[in-house]
Amino acid sequence: MYRVLGAIAACLLAVSGLACASGSTATSPPAPSPGPEDPTVDQDRVRGEYIVKLAPGADPAAVSDVFGRFGVQRVQSLGGALYLVTLSGDPGPRALEEARQGDARIASVQPNYRYRGTGQ
Amino acid sequence: MTTRSVVLALALSLLVGGGARAASPRALSLAGARGLYVPDEILVQFREGVSSRARFAAVAARGHELAATLSWPSWARVKVQPGQSVEAAVGSYRGDPAVALAQPNFLYRATTVPDDPGYAQQWGLKNTGQTITADNTQPPGSALEYTTDNPGTPADDLNVEHAWDHITDCSATVVAVVDSGVNYGHQDLAANMWNGGASFPNHGYNYVDGNADPMDLNGHGTHVAGTIGAVGNNALGVVGVCWKAQIMAVRVLDATGVGSSAQILQGIDFAVQHGAKVINMSLGGNGAFDQAYSDAITAAQAADVLVVVAAGNDGVDNDSGTAPTYPCNFTQQNLLCVAALDQSYQLASFSNWGAISVDVGAPGTNVLSTWAGTSGQITDPLNTGWTGSTTTAGGWTYGTPGGTACLVDPSSYPDGQYAQNTDDRAYKVFDVSGASVVVAEIAFAVDVANGDYFRGACNGAGGDPFAAGTTLGAITNMATYPRLQTANIDVTSCASAAASFGFQLQSGASSARGVAVCGLTFKGLVTNATSYNTIAGTSMATPATAGVATLLRAYNPSYTYSDTVTAIMLAGRPVPALSGKTTTGNAVDAMLSLAYIHTPTGVTANVQ
């Protein structure tokens, strides 16, 4: 758990070579930013975002029912049976897949992968 | 007949006569090839040793007439029966042991050359062995990215001038650029943008911001659009493969050039639903198989939409099993994946390849095209001018790990460990005013424990950006050391004449190796209607191919995606550098593809 520190700005010109800031204070506690379960794949997917495909006829409420324990912040329709789900945390693709397998209303769940332009 | 024309004629003969790919020549159709060849004549090449008498007999047996023997002794010009189609006439020689090849007598006209002043630098359209200069680069005055084979080899190009003799107007086919958007107001693009009516007055849609303004804030998509369809013969700038076009702008990549599955699959759906028949996607990723993305391409296939994609720029084999690149490695039949060739038709050093996944090659180095605006950049030396603070001891300092100037924390990086329970900050003020968009490119190596944070922040008002400002990103529980990561972050919201940017290392009761920031560049773009750029990438080879596909579908309105793929893949130009590295071994050839003769699938052709 992050611990807020007192404002003890120490000027370290001699050590660092950087100019010294005056009146620098500690910030408020940082917003939660969960660590990736596998840093090597983090660049290839948007953390905390998953694409969910509902089974035919399934109610979109199934998304919150199945994945609600991961902190569903937003559910956006992508057209058809697809939804983009934004979670407050990121338990990782494996955890979501395990959750999906327990409920037939969810046909599939996958990371929201990143792509880049292929100019040099 | 020029040297190139001879080559062309022979190559075509292989396609419709007795060559390997012509093992099962189909009935021919003039429905989509009007004006390409003399309507009542064909050319026949007899096999060596076939006597004049036998030649005459072979021709007469079909009701044809030997009109002339050509200067190449084995060739003859043959008059066909009155009313007989050229397709039928050519096909009638199939299987004749006396005949090596039969083909239409193609028409050549005075070559159509556009008056666009940049055309002389567009080697991909016409390679004269010209040296590509750095006169049109961004930021202005910067060097070309790719120096190999410049100048290159004459005629190593798309062979599009002959195709332009037959068609320059592709506006019958909507082509979607699913990319970083398009500067739809550019002087060389505005007239060729898709008419989206009142619903889409800016010629497309923006899935990055969720609105109907797909303005390009990166430049990449505008470059792609210009290669496909910069206005031709307007005495301005450059020319596209299509002189007239309907370019649909679909923005799925942000100002940093990054997009997601969700944005892309929505973009594909938009293009399909609004009538695009060719989609260009000069993008890629190295993640796992993306089912949702794949399904979107399958849906496009069902709607008869051809999707042209880039092979990727990692210089690797996409089929090795360790580095699939999507969408290139998807397997739908409506997908064409394109590698990049240099000015001598060698595989570009950066280009991916794949004997299974990559289909063709096309010009992809030193490609001059439209750009979204004027680019500029500021690179910080990381050895002066930074203001630092810490709540403990040590903190950020200047270092040279590996001999490179970096901001490091701790000072002993990478051999020591950062302090526990510390809040170390460093920031500097920059003038990044006046740009439409500013992107910070940060190169860093990080090793921070779980619950400790490496952050970036900015503040347009200056001062400590962690005291008051915008957090740009936070990393915890990550170890990339010694590998440098590069992050591109849109910092436009902080842009000002005195904007502060900074880094923070904040720890709890733990420690690790720390952080080194070894690169910091601010890239700005001021959009305008007059900029151009010369860049490289499989991204640039892709629209050359998509442009040819659009040309083909505009010329042959009855062509399906399958017909178009067949014409591009089979009627390409064999290139040794692509042999074994692509499915065809061919470079895209506009004229060969246009002249490729086969019956469009799924329609009843009216054969003359």
Q: In chain A, positions 86-105, which contact chain B (CB-CB < 8 Å)?
A: none
Say if residue B55 is in the same domain as residue B102. yes
Q: What is the pLDDT of residue B111?
A: 67
Say if residue B457 is in the same domain as residue B536. no
ipTM tops 0.85: no
Record: contact A112-B179, CB cut-off 8 A: no
Domain boundary among B55, B83, B106: B106
Chain A environment of B178 (Cβ under 8 Å): none
Q: What is the pLDDT of residue A23?
A: 32
Say if residue B237 is in the same domain as residue B287. yes
Q: What six digits make up the tokens of B97?
A: 């042991």
Task: Give tens-digit pLDDT for B72-100.
Answer: 778 889 999 888 888 888 889 988 999 98
- Find the angle CA(B422)-CA(B428)-CA(B432) to the nearest 5 degrees: 140
Which of B552, B51, B412, B67 lies closest to B569 in space, CA to CA? B552
Per the domain annotation, does B603 fall within a domain? no
Say if residue B202 is in the same domain as residue B322. yes
Q: What is the pLDDT of residue B21?
A: 27
Q: What is the pLDDT of residue B1?
A: 28
Say if residue B95 is in the same domain as residue B208. no
Per the domain annotation, does B205 fall within a domain? yes
Task: Give tens-digit pLDDT for B28-51.
Answer: 333 334 457 788 899 898 998 899
Say if residue B329 is in the same domain as residue B396. no
**Mean pLDDT along residues B527-545:** 98
Radius of gyration of chain B measured on its C-alpha atoms: 28
Say if residue B368 is in the same domain as residue B393. no
Q: Does A1 touch chain B (CB under 8 A)?
A: yes
Q: Rounded CA gap, A13 and A15, in Å?
A: 5
Of the two residues B188 and B107, the one the predictor is more confident about is B188
Helix or strand (DSSP H, E) at B263: helix B261-273
Strand partners, A51: A84, A110
CATH of the domain at B514: 2.60.120.200
Task: Give tens-digit pLDDT for B546-569.
Answer: 999 999 999 999 999 999 999 999
pTM across the whole model: 0.82
Q: Does A68 touch chain B (CB under 8 A)?
A: no
Record: contact B266-A78, CB cut-off 8 A: yes
Per the domain annotation, does B356 fall within a domain? yes
Say if residue B220 is in the same domain as residue B316. yes
Q: What is the least distance, in Å, from the CA of A2 to any CA of chain B?
A: 6
Q: Does A14 touch chain B (CB under 8 A)?
A: no
Say if residue B228 is in the same domain as residue B276. yes
CATH of the domain at B48: 3.30.70.80
Chain B environment of A1 (Cβ under 8 Å): 451, 508
Say if residue B468 is in the same domain as residue B368. no
Record: contact B453-A78, CB cut-off 8 A: no
The yes-or-no verdict on residue B601 having pLDDT over 70 is no
Say if residue B47 is in the same domain as residue B187. no
Minimal Cα distance from A79: which residue of B? B266
For B523, how many CA atoms within 13 A lie in the half-sphere containing its CB?
20
Per the domain annotation, does B115 fall within a domain? no
Per the domain annotation, does B395 fall within a domain? yes
**A39-113, what's its fold?**
Alpha-Beta Plaits (3.30.70)
Q: B313-349 burial, b if ≥16 CB within 10 A, otherwise e?
A: bbebbbbeeeebbbbbbbeeebbbbbbbbbbbbbbbe
Who among A10, A35, A41 is closest to B390 (CB)?
A: A10
Q: Rounded CA gap, B36 and B30, in Å?
A: 9
Q: Rounded CA gap, A10 and B423, in Å?
A: 10
The yes-or-no verdict on residue B370 having pLDDT over 80 is yes
Q: Rounded CA gap, B357 and B324, in Å?
A: 9
Q: What is the pLDDT of residue B415?
A: 93
Choose from B145, B260, B273 for mutation: most chain A CBs within 10 A: B260
Over pLDDT 70: what percentage of chain B? 91
Residues 6+ apart with CB under 8 A from A73: A86, A87, A88
Per the domain annotation, does B199 fall within a domain? yes
Q: What is the mean pLDDT of chain B?
A: 90
**Mean pLDDT along residues A109-113:** 97
The yes-or-no verdict on residue B19 having pLDDT over 50 is no
Helix or strand (DSSP H, E) at B258: strand B258-260
Say if residue B507 is in the same domain as residue B540. no
Domain boundary among B467, B498, B527: B527
